[in-house]
Structure formats: C-alpha cells, structure tokens
Structure 1
Amino acid sequence: MVEILMAWDAKRQFMIDTNPFGGGGDKDKPDRKAVAKEARMGFRVAAMSRKKD
C-alpha cells in the first residue's frame, strides 16, 4: 500500500511539474500559518483601535 501511495504522489508531482499550461498547483497557494498570523494581527489592530465607552 505504501508503494502505491508513493507512486501516486510521484506521478501527481510529475504531472504538475511538466504541465505545459502552467498549472503550478499548490505552489501558488499562500502558507496557512502566514495567513493565520496575518489574520490575528488584523484582529488585534482592530480590537486596539476600538473606542472604549
């Protein structure tokens, strides 16, 4: 089973790398940790800029 999964993953990566139409796949996606950190910073800034009544 492990060999099948490794072969499938290698074939998938080969198809992505040799696609003549671009299709970089996952390479263009932003890093999940970076997106989460940016969102936290945005929420923090929004919370700090709120008026305190």
Structure 2
Amino acid sequence: MQLKTAIPHIYLDLSKANKDREKLFKAYVKGYVARSHPDWEVVRIEGMMAILERKG
C-alpha cells in the first residue's frame, strides 16, 4: 500500500543556497516523513509529493 503526502514548500527555499541541493532536499523530506508519518518510509519523490510505503 502506498500513500502520497505533500512536501512543504519551505524545503525548496531552505535547500536553495546549498551546492548539493538535491541531497539536502531529500534529507529534509526523509526527516519530515520520519516525524509526521513514523510508520512510513519514502519510496520516491514526484514533484512536491512524497510517495510512501509502510515500514516492514
């Protein structure tokens, strides 16, 4: 089973100035999901949506 959740747009602004923007953005998304959906993990990112699957 998969779940789609919106990624807060602030993560784009926070990662903008970093030279490795993609890596930092993904780290922010993984951290956000870990806090807001602790039983789920990021499978992929599509635009500003994170596709999640249940852990385990």
TM-score range, shorter chain: 0.3 to 0.5
- Give the structure with higher Rg (CA): 1
Query: If each structure's helix is expressed as a fraction of its own residues, which one has the higher value?
Result: 1
- With the length of structure 1 as denominator, give the TM-score of the two structures: 0.34
Query: If each structure's strand is expressed as a fraction of its own residues, which one has the higher value?
Result: 2
